[in-house]
């Protein structure tokens, strides 16, 4: 072993320890994420299966958060307003097992008895992304001027990302459930900071198509953890082989 070998061995040893610490920390992080994901799945499953409760009153709206209130099942009475609707394009759904293929979600403003407005995702409309007239026909029958008893799930708006296509305001077509942008563009007023994914009632025509939600979250964290721990073990074996060779040299 030449004079530079101890220094080289020390440097490689430090590098190996750093790699081991990094890979093991990633594995531990994935195990922690798995625990959190299982807790989230259990919480969402419980909320989706629970009997509907009354819609929270406006005084409580500011305190609602996605962490504790997303997918809360609620029941309330509201009247669809004679105002422009919005459509949100979708290639499928992660929360509706009965929806497949391209189409749009129909977002309509509905007035509560106190005069405030809650936006209702009234359901899925199949393959009508570009046909505004067909969209209008699909939702026209919902606006009767009469109160409707609705059951659905409390959801929170999403913002468009950097890669999200821009909304086509002429067709009232969005590519994210950005209720704030819809409200501003379409003149909706006194809008709640959440929207409702409608479960019932189902229109006689079946269009739009509301329905129960069934959350299926990906749970690959154990697989990822095993991968990171496996890489850490491989790095350790490689260092052992190298070190053994150095001692023989």
DSSP, residue by residue, 165-227: PPPBTTTTEESS--HHHHHHHHT--SEEEEEEEEEEPPPTT--SB-----------HHHHHHH
Residue-level pLDDT at 98: 82
Residue-level pLDDT at 86: 92
Other C-beta atoms lying within 10 Å of the C-beta of residue 66: 11
Q: Domain extents for the chain?
A: 5-44+219-248, 72-200
Whether residue 102 is predicted with pLDDT greater than 90 in this model: the reply is: no
The mean pLDDT of 105-120, rounded to a whole number, is 95
Q: Rounded CA gap, 214 and 211, in Å? A: 10
Bridging pattern class, strands 100-111 and 191-200: unpaired
Within 8 A by CB and 6+ apart from 237, the residues are none
Q: Within its chain, how far is the Cα of 122 from the centroid?
A: 18
Q: Rounded CA gap, 139 and 105, in Å? A: 11
Residue-level pLDDT at 126: 80
Q: Rounded CA gap, 208 and 200, in Å? A: 11
pLDDT band at 53 (very low <50, low <70, confident <90, very high): very high
Q: Rounded CA gap, 126 and 130, in Å? A: 11
Residue-level pLDDT at 164: 85
* 3-class SS of residue 145: coil
Other C-beta atoms lying within 10 Å of the C-beta of residue 94: 13
Structure tokens at 105: 């979600």
DSSP annotation of 98: T
Residue-level pLDDT at 108: 94
Whether residue 130 is predicted with pLDDT greater than 60 in this model: the reply is: no
Beta bridge partner(s), residue 118 = 110
Residue-level pLDDT at 163: 80
Q: What are phi and psi of 85, to 5 degrees?
A: -90, 175
The mean pLDDT of 174-180, rounded to a whole number, is 93
Q: Rounded CA gap, 153 and 50, in Å? A: 11
Beta bridge partner(s), residue 154 = 196
Whether residue 113 is predicted with pLDDT greater than 80 in this model: the reply is: yes
């Amino acid at each position: 072993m030449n004079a530079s070998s101890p220094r080289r061995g020390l440097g490689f040893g430090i590098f190996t320890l750093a790699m081991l610490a990094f890979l093991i920390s990633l594995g531990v992080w994935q195990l922690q994420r798995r625990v959190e994901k299982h807790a989230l799945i259990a919480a969402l499953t419980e909320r989706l299966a629970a009997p509907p409760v009354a819609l929270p009153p406006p005084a409580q709206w500011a305190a609602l958060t996605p962490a504790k209130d997303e997918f809360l099942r609620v029941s309330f009475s509201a009247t669809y307003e004679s105002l422009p609707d919005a459509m949100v394009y979708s290639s499928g759904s992660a929360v509706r097992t009965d929806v497949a293929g391209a189409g749009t979600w129909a977002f309509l403003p509905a007035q509560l008895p106190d005069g405030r407005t809650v936006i209702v995702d009234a359901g899925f409309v199949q393959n009508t992304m570009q046909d505004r007239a067909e969209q209008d026909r699909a939702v026209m029958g919902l606006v009767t001027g009469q109160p409707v008893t609705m059951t659905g799930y409390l959801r929170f708006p999403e913002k468009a990302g950097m890669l999200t296509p821009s909304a086509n305001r002429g067709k009232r077509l969005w590519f994210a459930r950005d209720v704030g942008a819809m409200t501003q563009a379409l003149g909706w007023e006194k809008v709640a900071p959440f929207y409702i994914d409608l479960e019932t009632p189902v229109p006689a025509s079946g269009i739009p198509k509301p329905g129960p939600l069934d959350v299926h979250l990906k749970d690959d964290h154990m697989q990822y953890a095993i991968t990171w721990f496996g890489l850490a073990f491989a790095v350790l074996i490689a260092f052992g082989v190298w070190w053994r060779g150095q001692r023989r040299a």
